[in-house]
Copies of this chain bind each other. A is one copy, B any other.
Amino acid sequence: MNQKSPVVVTEIGAVRQLVRDVRARGKTIGLVPTMGALHEGHMSLVCRAASETDYSIVTIFVNPTQFGPSEDFSRYPRTFDSDLALLARERVDAVFVPSTDQMYPNDFSTLVQPPRVAEPWEGRCRPGHFQGVATIVLKLLNVIPADVAFFGQKDFQQVRVVQDMVRDLNLPIRIEVCPTVRDADGLAMSSRNRYLNATERRQSLALVQSLRRAGELATQGYRDAAELRREMLAVLERAGITRIDYVALVHRETLANVEQVTNETVALVAAFVGGTRLIDNCSLGL
């Protein structure tokens, strides 16, 4: 087997030392922050990190501060053993798995107030979510000062929040965004797909179908965002998806609603399938 088990580090001090040692050998470092429950989407980030940097570090930390009080923090899938097996297959160099107490000791109280781009969409549906995301990403980047960090396009708004935070706080890191990885039928990979039963799994395809419908219409020359949005909603409703957080056509930089579709437009969708909240997005740029 072409495998090499990654070093598993659980202490902040130890991973800092590891990074210092790797740096002293002149190597570049790639970071992939995850909450575990790894799937092929994560593995595409890991693969990029391994190919573009000398030393790749994956963090696994289910970050409590990015979950709302009524959200799925406690039942979020924790699959450490299979995560580790997957990472070994991709020849990841190190895995950092800190305890919650270590990342958030009792006296912890400093937070990042995330950039403006965090306000709409997920920011409105999940109050505090991006504050939690921005804070943990900043902390991880301070513990592991990598050269490049890799994030998935699937969480489009999260990417924008991280990019603007990095710019605003002058963080010395490059952010690379990797394309969404999909199952053969088009469903975007997500750790939360594990929550879906067979019926919901079929129903969930309406999300990507709604995005594809928007893409088709854009390709055919339709430019009226309101019309595309109505068509997307119709696709979701035909599939019996009624609990829709948002369907939006937005500018890729500002995430503000657009009236006219352009190459800078991204279609966003967030909806519940059964009790599971799913999000997806697709650029309408040609």
A→B interface (CB under 8 Å): 12, 16, 107-117, 131, 134-135, 138-139, 142-143, 145, 164-165, 168-172
Q: Which 6 pairs from chain A and chain B are nearest by CB?
A: A110-B168, A109-B116, A142-B170, A111-B113, A109-B115, A110-B115
Number of copies: 2
Starting from the known contacts A109-B117, A110-B164, 8 additional A-B residue pairs (CB-CB under 8 Å) come to A12-B170, A107-B116, A107-B164, A109-B116, A109-B168, A110-B168, A142-B169, A142-B172
Given A110-B165, A134-B110, CB of A143 within 8 Å of CB of B115: no
Q: Say which residue of B110, B112, B117, B171 sits within 8 Å of A142 (CB atoms).
A: B171
- Whether the Cβ atoms of B113 and A112 lie closer than 8 Å is yes
Q: Is the CB of B115 within 8 A of A164?
A: no
- Decide if A168 touches B113 in the complex (CB within 8 Å): no
Complex Cα distance, B139 from A169, in Å, reads 5
- Closest B residue to A110 using CB positions: B168
- Chain B residue numbers with a CB within 8 Å of A172 are 16, 142, 145
CB of A73, distance to nearest CB on chain B (Å): 20
- Tell me the minimal C-beta distance from A262 to chain B in angstroms: 20
Q: Roughly how many angstroms separate A117 CA and B110 CA in the complex, as a whole number?
A: 10
Bound Cα distance A21, B131 (Å) = 35
